[in-house]
Amino acid sequence: MIAGIRQPLWRTPASLGLAAEEVVFGASDGVILRGWFIARSDGGGQPAPAIVFVHGWSWNRLGNRAGSSLLPDRDVEVLELAQALSQAGFHTLLFDLRNHGESDTAMPVTFGVYEARDLIGAVALLRRRPDVDRARIGAIGFSMGANTLIYGIPRCQPIRAAVAVQPTTPAVFAPRLARTLLGGSGPLLQQLGELLHRAFGAPPLSQINLARAAIHLRNTAMLYIQGSGDQWGTLADVQAVVAATPNARPLVVAPSTERFGGYLYACEQRDQIVEFFRAHMAT
């Protein structure tokens, strides 16, 4: 909750035949971030639309490598989704959030609130590039990355469309995760841990209200995806966020038996993601 978890990069875009440019840029508060810009496959001389990927808590720009933390988790690979978008005519930007991967440290982790500054910096980078159509930028975020979209998109408009995969209100998520990891005493220990989290400058978890923040997503087409069997987040929580979002599409409830099944659904249903962005970013 404070320092994040740094997973090493385990592959590169070259493993899928993608040419990636190493990029280094600043968040809106100056934190240095690192990632890859992957140009669309068909090239062409005209500026093209671009999609920003925003990863989850304890992940990196590639997704999640199972066994990298204490969480009961699974592999999540986002590079194939980036490849599908590249083949569909979209540039993509995959980067490490602060406190993750190869980006700089700026404690604490805040589950989307301060990480929104990283999204703002990523969008600013894209808008400086002559090969990007600055009016046609979209985003996809997973877990904390989805929270980051909700907090960050209103501050870097225009963002045409975004996919939020399993956003979660920390006050809902944290005690449920703590119970999984620590048993019946988990929620109490989590509350004690939150005191230390706040001592490092984090806002109280109770003040991180996604539904309240989602009210400001007026100008972006939003698609939310939530797994049906998520043991840490809840369907009701995400439904409340969808209801508060002015321009939300119907919630996609992915069949799953645990949280990571929802992430895998989004990565595997690549055609659905591509078509959503095509529909809202074609012109």
**Strand 132-142, strand 161-165: pairing:** parallel
Q: What is the mean pLDDT of residues 98-122?
A: 98
Neighbouring-strand partners of residue 224: 164
Instruction: Give percent of the chain above pLDDT 70.
Output: 99
What is the 8-class DSSP label of residue 97? P
Do strands 20-26 and 32-38 pair parallel, antiparallel, or not at all (unpaired)? antiparallel
pLDDT of amino acid 221:
99
Q: For 23-27, 68-72, 124-128, which range has the lowest pLDDT when averaged over its residues?
A: 68-72
Distance CA 149, CA 251 (A): 16
The whole-number pLDDT of residue 69 equals 83
Q: Which two tokens stand for residue 20?
A: 């990636």
Residue 46 pLDDT greater than 80, yes or no: yes
What pTM value is reported for the model?
0.96
Please give the structure tokens belonging to residue 82.
């980036």
Question: Residue 22: what pLDDT?
Answer: 99
**pLDDT averaged over every residue in the chain:** 96
Spatial neighbors of 250 by CB under 8 A, at least 6 apart, are: none
Give the pLDDT of residue 116: 99
Q: What is the DSSP string of 158-220?
A: ---EEEEES---HHHHHHHHHHHHHGGGHHHHHHHHHHHHHHTTPPPGGG--HHHHHTT-TTS
CA 283/CA 281 separation, integer angstroms: 6
Q: What is the mean pLDDT of residues 8-31?
A: 98
- CA distances 226 to 145, 155, 168, 181, 250, Å, are 14, 25, 10, 22, 11
Q: Measure Cα distances from 42 to 22, 82, 244 in Å.
A: 20, 14, 38
Mean pLDDT over 35-51 rounds to 92
Q: Kindly tell me if the per-residue pLDDT of 59 is higher than 80.
A: yes
| Boundaries of every domain in the chain | 13-281
Whether the pLDDT of residue 192 is over 70: the answer is yes
Q: What is the pLDDT of residue 42?
A: 84
pLDDT tens sequence across 142-188: 999 999 999 999 999 999 999 999 999 999 999 999 999 999 999 89
- What is the pLDDT, as a whole number, of residue 33? 99
Residue-wise pLDDT for 270-283, tens only, equals 999 999 999 999 86
Cα separation, 89 vs 278, whole angstroms = 9
Overall average pLDDT of the 6-16 stretch:
97
Assess if CATH 3.40.50.300 describes domain 13-281. Answer: no
> Is the pLDDT score of 11 beyond 80?
yes
Average pLDDT of 188-199?
A: 90
3-state SS assignment for residue 112? coil
Q: What's the confidence (pLDDT) of residue 283?
A: 65
Q: How many helices (H) and strands (E) does the chain have?
A: 9, 10
The answer to whether residue 1 scores a pLDDT higher than 80 is: no
Write out pLDDT tens, residues 143-153: 999 999 999 99
Please tell me what DSSP assigns to residue 99. T
pLDDT in tens, 65-107: 999 887 889 999 999 999 999 999 999 999 999 999 999 999 9
Q: How large is the average pLDDT for residues 223-242? A: 98
Segment among 16-25, 200-209, 214-223 with least mean pLDDT:
200-209
